[in-house]
Chains A and B, each alone.
Chain A
Amino acid sequence: SAVISQKPSRDICQRGTSLTIQCQVDSQVTMMFWYRQQPGQSLTLIATANQGSEATYESGFVIDKFPISRPNLTFSTLTVSNMSPEDSSIYLCSVGGDTSYEQYFGPGTRLTVT
């Protein structure tokens, strides 16, 4: 399984600012995903990060709010823009198996917006 790291592990930000979260994988992977896990809730998929093309966003999430980059097969970033307290959450990066559907997760980034 892939080893996934995320930076930062946590941050406290002021409303109106933006934060970029990095996700690094130790091997090349095709599928990368970004999730949000709000306090006491399950995982919600934000978008699929596609290498070489725009990310595919789920309903309720838009590129202007959550721009994603995927410059190569081992790295992706998620930016949370113009933050509000409602964006306080854990943001998770995951990668999918190339031949199966299981996913492997990063440690998460805990974001608090004040």
Chain B
Amino acid sequence: AQRVTQPEKLLSVFKGAPVELKCNYSYSGSPELFWYVQYSRQRLQLLLRHISRESIKGFTADLNKGETSFHLKKPFAQEEDSAMYYCALSGADTGGFKTIFGAGTRLFVKA
């Protein structure tokens, strides 16, 4: 079954500390993995995608096919990173460009 698992509902770190939001997936083919973010009172938006291999707002995520993981990392958390983060996957096997979302992790960065 196709599934995205985010084991942590809440992650709290101090400003300047490293942060890692975990994401594991189950998918039979070759997935495309994404991280979406929702800041307070803003719409859900794409943060980054694995195929771009880019760093956005200091965040990176590497697709590990062996561990079926796509963890989101940032070396030094900032207060403005506080938000809800969703890991998501899509691909031809999800049918019709559908996206499967994880349950989300709320990141709280303390001053």
Contact = CB atoms under 8 A, between A and B. Distances in A.
Q: Interface residue tally of chain A, by bracket?
A: 20 to 34
A105 B97 CA distance: 15
B46 A102 contact: yes
A42 B99 contact: no
Interface string A37-79: 0000111010010000000100000000000000000000000
Given A42-B86, A42-B104, A101 B99 contact: yes
A59 to B, nearest CB: 12
Given A42-B102, A48-B98, A56-B96, 12 more contacts: A31-B97, A33-B99, A43-B44, A96-B97, A101-B34, A101-B90, A102-B34, A102-B49, A103-B46, A104-B45, A104-B46, A105-B44
Given A56-B96, A102-B46, A43 B91 contact: no
Contacts of A43: 44, 86, 101
A101 B96 contact: no
Interface of B: 32, 34, 43-46, 49, 51, 86, 90-91, 96-99, 101-104
A72 to B, nearest CB: 19
Contacts of A104: 45-46
A54 to B, nearest CB: 13
B5 to A, nearest CB: 11
A22 to B, nearest CB: 16
Contact of B91 (A33, A41, A101, A106): A101
Nearest to A45: B98
Contacts of B34: 101-102
Contacts of B102: 42
29 contacts: A1-B46, A31-B97, A33-B98, A33-B99, A42-B86, A42-B101, A42-B104, A43-B44, A43-B86, A45-B98, A48-B98, A56-B96, A92-B44, A96-B99, A100-B32, A100-B49, A100-B51, A101-B32, A101-B90, A101-B91, A101-B97, A101-B99, A102-B49, A104-B45, A104-B46, A105-B45, A106-B43, A107-B43, A108-B43
